[in-house]
Amino acid sequence: IMVTLKKLKTKLLQMLQNDFDTNEYAYYTNSTVEDYQRPCFFTQETIKSVDAINNYARQVRVEFVIEYLQETVDEVDMLIVAETIRNIFGKLFKVETTPVYIETFSYDIVGNENEVLQIIMEVSYTESVGIVTTDAEIMGSLSYKQRNEVR
C-alpha cells in the first residue's frame, strides 16, 4: 500500500480532530488568507527528502507545520495545545498499515505579536518501489568443489 501526501495529511487531521473537535476548532490550509474563524489550526506539509534504501525501498521524510491561532492570546493554552499534540502523535502512528515515525517535534510562538503557536514535526516512513531491473546478466553458471573436513 502506497502512502501518499493526501493519505498522510488525512490521517494527521483525523488524529488532531479526535482531540480538537471540529465543532470548537476550524481547520485550514495555508492557502486560506482571510475569513477564517478562531480558534483554528492551519496545516501544511512538505516532502523534505526521498532517499533510496536499496533497489526495493526508499525512506520518505515529510515536514508538517501546524499553526494554532486563538481567539484571545493565551500562552498557557498554547503550551497545553503543544503538549497535547505531542502526545497525540507520540513516536509512531500508522497510515493504513504503514508505520510513520515522528523523527522530530518542536514548537515556537511566532507572529508579529507572538500570537501564533507553530509546531513543526518531521515524520518518516519506508515505501516499496518494486523491483528494479537492469540489463546486466545475473549469473551464467556456477561451479564449486566440496571440501571434506575431518574433526
DSSP string, 31-79: T--SS--SSEEEEEEEEEEEEESSSSEEEEEEEEEEEEE-SS--HHHHH
Using CA atoms, how far apart are residues 144 and 147, in angstroms rounded to an integer? Answer: 10
pLDDT per residue over 54-111, tens digit each? Answer: 988 999 999 999 999 999 999 999 999 999 999 999 999 999 999 999 999 999 999 9
Own/partner long-range contacts of 129-137 (Cβ < 8 Å, ≥24 apart) = 129/55, 129/56, 129/57, 129/58, 130/56, 131/55, 131/56, 132/55, 132/56
Average pLDDT, the chain: 89
Using CA atoms, how far apart are residues 102 and 119, in angstroms rounded to an integer? Answer: 13
The per-residue pLDDT for 136 is 59
The per-residue pLDDT for 129 is 81
Does residue 132 surpass a pLDDT of 60? no
Mean pLDDT throughout 16-22? 96
Least confidently predicted of 8-22, 90-104, 119-133: 119-133
Identify the residue whose cell numbers are 508505520.
99
Does residue 137 surpass a pLDDT of 70? no
Does residue 142 surpass a pLDDT of 70? no
The per-residue pLDDT for 26 is 95
The per-residue pLDDT for 27 is 95
Using CA atoms, how far apart are residues 58 and 41, in angstroms rounded to an integer? Answer: 31
The CB-side HSE value for 73 (13 A sphere, CA atoms) comes to 9
